Structures are given as C-alpha cells and as structure tokens.
Amino acid sequence: MSKYGVLFLGLLSVLSVSKNACSMTRDEIDGFLGKLGADNQYDPSKGINWSVLPGPFYTPELKLGLGTAIAGVYRVDPKDKTTQNSSISFTGFVSTSGALGVGMKSYTFFSGDKWRMFVDGSLANVPTGFWGIGYDAAQGNEQKYTDQSIEIHPQIMRQVIDHLYVGVGWDYSTLHATEIENTRPDDNFSRYDAAKDSKSSGVTATLNYDSRDVITRPRRGQFFSAEFSDFDPAFGSDNHFTVLQLQYNYYHPLNEADVLAFDLWGRFARGNVPWDRLSELGDDNRMRGYYQGRYRDKDVVSTQVEYRKKLDWRNGYVLWLGMGALGGSEEDLSDHAPLPTAGVGYRFEVKPDMNIRLDLGFGKESAGFYFQVAEAF
C-alpha cells in the first residue's frame, strides 16, 4: 500500500470514530472522556489536571504508528486567577518502522508570570535515514540507520518590563547511530564525515517578547524570540559551534471563532557543527509533511500562515500554507526554489486552551499525518 493510502486509511479511522461518536449525545461523550481526564474543565484544587488520549499518526520517517498524549494543566499558586495556566505534556509513540520514544514539554508560570520555566526533551530509538548535508544531497538516496538519541532543553526567564523576558538555559543532546546500512568508504556517513556518536552541550541566552493571550492556543498577540546557544568542550560538548534561532509569530482574531496565525522562523549554525545538530527543515511544527532530517544544513528559514476555525462544542480545524529554504549560509538560501508545504488539521479541546491536534501535511513528494498536543505555533 502506498503512503498516501495509509494516510487515507488513517483519516478514515478518525472519521469513523467521529461518526460513531455522533450517535452518542454530547453528555455521553463528555462522560466517557471525563474518565480519561479530557473533561474540558480545570479545577485548581486538584493540583495537576491530567488528560490521556491515544491517536494514530503517519509520518515519512516513522511510518504508521500509535501515539499517546498525556496532558496536564495546573497553577503554581491555585489562588492566582489572572496568570495563564501552566501546562505539561508527555507524548509516547510506537510505529510499524520499529520506532519508539517519549517526549515532554512544559510551560510553568510563577509569581504572576514574572518568572517562567520552559522545558522540553525527548528519548527515542528511531530507524531513519541520512541523505547528507544540503539541498542537493536530499535529492539523492538515503543511507538507513537507527537513531538512538536523548535531548533536554530547560530554560528559565525573568520579566524585565511588560511582555519582555530575558533568560538562560542549557541545551544537551546525544546521538548514537547504530545498524548503519551498507557501510563503505564512499557512503553518506563517510562522505560527509558524520560521526556515529555525537554529544552536544551548551548554554543558551534568550530574549522573548510575548503578548500572546495563551501560549498553548494563542488567539491574539505577538511573539518574538531570539535564542543564542554556545556549544563548547568546556560545557561537555564534542565540538565548538554556535546557533542563533529567531522566531516571530503574529495572531489576528477575525471574530470569536476565526484566527489567522503567522509564523516566521530561522535557525543559523556556525562553527564545527555536528551533522545531528545542523538546522533541519521539516518536523511536526514547521514544514509538516517532510521527512525529518532529509533536508539539513547550517541555515534554514521557513514561514507559514494558518487559518484556525473554532466549531461548535470542542471541535475545530485549521488550514495552512508555508514554504522553507536551506543553505550553508544566508547567501545560499536563494540557490533553489523554496520548498512548499500545505495541510489541514482537526482540533479537539481536552482542557481549557489545550487541544489535541491531528494534522495532515503535504510537502514536495512526501506527506505526514501528525498527532500532537497544543498548536504547532
């Protein structure tokens, strides 16, 4: 069966569940989901309010799989009625490719949002492929291998004036490439001098401007982030290199149900950058539909615009268009035509301002069906 057939079957399974759900009343559905914690309610007296929901996915790198999302909403001070809810989510997955992994992401707000602590991380064992470095390499053949990786990135930020935050953090990752296919003197790993083991550890400095109403499902406001990371052997890294990551988002409510969301993102790496820490084009947030890791180079930029529609009850959908480019420097970004992305997604609200999302994204000669927590940006 083709990958598009698998995607179609995935969508049919979602629609089948929705059809069966339509035969139940909303009160019956709410009662069933309430047993999983997905009651669309928040009670600060309960501490962390948890929800658990499973969902299917298909991505070019993971193939068909099943994911489980565990999302929690809480307040550091239960008496604080003005600060947005803090959240923590865990995602786990297994797939027909033999991949398995867990990920986590948390947003914690302290002292009336004067302090923030954000953490994301993952642990994965994923059969995947390495094409090489650059746009031209991505047009060739991949060399299959298994990616065993650990990533953790905590940050703490302090508000200096309204909406403006400065912070510091740590960015740590390890990669172990195993089960490398067809090893030979001229293979992709040898040609691009890609080490089979890599460790990167560095300190980060962040400047954020954030006027969004809610981070997990923004409806209005703006967000700008500049994060500089310095990786060095003094911090435990194998190589010395730096990364500058820039992001700008704008959210414009058209009415109570419709929102236009805009995202502009860039990542620029310099120095002796290991192949696993190069900038990548394509994941479950940006350039959805591309094989993650196929397009990689020192510099990547992407932009996307998303139309978000809130339907009745807990339902909603999104439509998006976007494009991206990559190169060894800023001057190289225009060497090739931008890569396109387009897609449609379904949203289901499990907690106030916390959605489960199912996204079907299309890229150049590839597609992906994603199951995640919270909006893509």
State residue 32's pLDDT score: 67
Query: What is the dihedral angle through the alpha carbons of 252, 253, 254, 256, rounded to the nearest 10 degrees?
Result: 180
- 147 is written with which tokens? 């990616």
Q: Residue 347: what pLDDT?
A: 96
pLDDT of residue 351: 86
Q: Give the pLDDT score at 55.
A: 85
Which residue, among 373, 270, 285, 271, has the nearest Cα to 324 in the 3D structure?
285
CA distances from 51 to 91, 197, 244, 310 (A): 12, 37, 35, 21
Per-residue pLDDT of the chain (377 residues; tens, 9 = 90+): 444 444 444 444 444 444 444 556 777 776 766 767 667 778 887 889 998 888 888 888 888 999 998 989 999 998 888 889 999 999 999 999 999 999 999 999 999 999 999 999 999 999 999 999 999 999 999 999 999 999 999 999 999 999 999 999 999 999 999 999 989 988 999 999 999 999 999 999 999 999 999 999 999 999 999 999 999 999 999 999 999 999 999 999 999 999 999 999 999 999 999 999 999 999 999 999 999 999 999 999 999 999 999 998 889 999 999 999 999 999 999 999 999 999 999 999 988 888 999 999 999 989 999 988 899 99
H-helix or E-strand spanning residue 247: strand 241-253
The DSSP bridge partners found for residue 366 are 363
Q: Where are the domains of the chain?
A: 97-373
Q: CATH: 2.60.40.3880, 2.40.160.50, 2.60.40.10, 3.90.1150.10. Which one for 97-373?
A: 2.40.160.50
Rounded Cα–Cα distance for residues 338 and 363 (Å): 11
Residue 258, token pair as written in the block = 């419709």
User: Of 55, 79, 77, 57, nearest to 68 (Cα)?
Assistant: 55
